[in-house]
Amino acid sequence: MKDHANQKLPLQGVRGAHIVILTGAGISAESGLKTFRDSDGLWEGYNIEDVATPEAWQRDPALVQQFYNERRKSVLEAEPNAAHYALAKLEGKYKVTIITQNIDDLHERAGSTNVVHLHGVITRSQSSKNARLTYPITGWELGMDEVCELGSPLRPHVVWFGEMVPMISTASQICAIADLFILVGTSLAVYPASGLINYVPDEIPKYIVDPKVPTVYNVANVTKIEAKATVGVPELVSELMR
């Protein structure tokens, strides 16, 4: 990997170029959100198997609903941080697509208009019978008595462990046509999102912003920015906007 210091960025002055950004838990963590399990295997004190799988929903839907209601409340109370706002500024000069692994809506609230949610978004519900039927949630609480147009209970619009990731094909196609690729706040440990960087053409410049930059193999033109998102992203965006 190359170091970031004193390097002229390839897209400086290229208005309208397509920047693709993949974001993970690290960018939301700086807004106070835990979007994935801790090192002890728990997510906000719960076992993943009890609250984030189709089997958990079948076994105890009320517990799963309660868990996501609490997460939704936390999301609505959180605010976008400097990294979210910086990425939104890029739209003033470039075509920007954000692909996020996070289920919060902080990118949208910061002003980004083209966001692909790989794992769904917690501020929406979906039919437990047909995942394509999704609905906005008013407030933070989704009740067990709320049903979709097919009469089945509404569940969080979130991709659970063991479920397919419907947007992964779309995301891979977007990565394949990037003019510049930025990775922010992800350890590249969650499959299949971890493989998206491999769809970016070799000749395209790639930037990774993280306090602990993950190791990537067989990927060319990678520049590391070892900093937390609220520091590294505004710095990178500032240079891109010159």
CA–CA dist 195, 114 (Å, integer): 21
Task: For residue 146, give the amino acid letter.
Answer: E
CA dihedral 20, 122, 108, 210 (to 10 degrees): -50
Active-site amino acid positions = 119
Among residues 116, 89, 132, 131, the alpha carbon closest in space to that of 196 is found at 116
For residue 96, give the 3-state DSSP assignment.
Answer: strand
What Cα–Cα distance (Å) separates residue 71 from each residue in 55, 108, 171?
19, 18, 25
**Cα distances (angstroms) measured from residue 90 to each of 18, 158, 189, 227:** 10, 27, 27, 19
Q: Which residues contact 78 (CB under 8 A, 6 or more apart)?
A: 28, 31, 32, 33, 104, 106
Separation of alpha carbons 57 and 50, rounded Å: 8
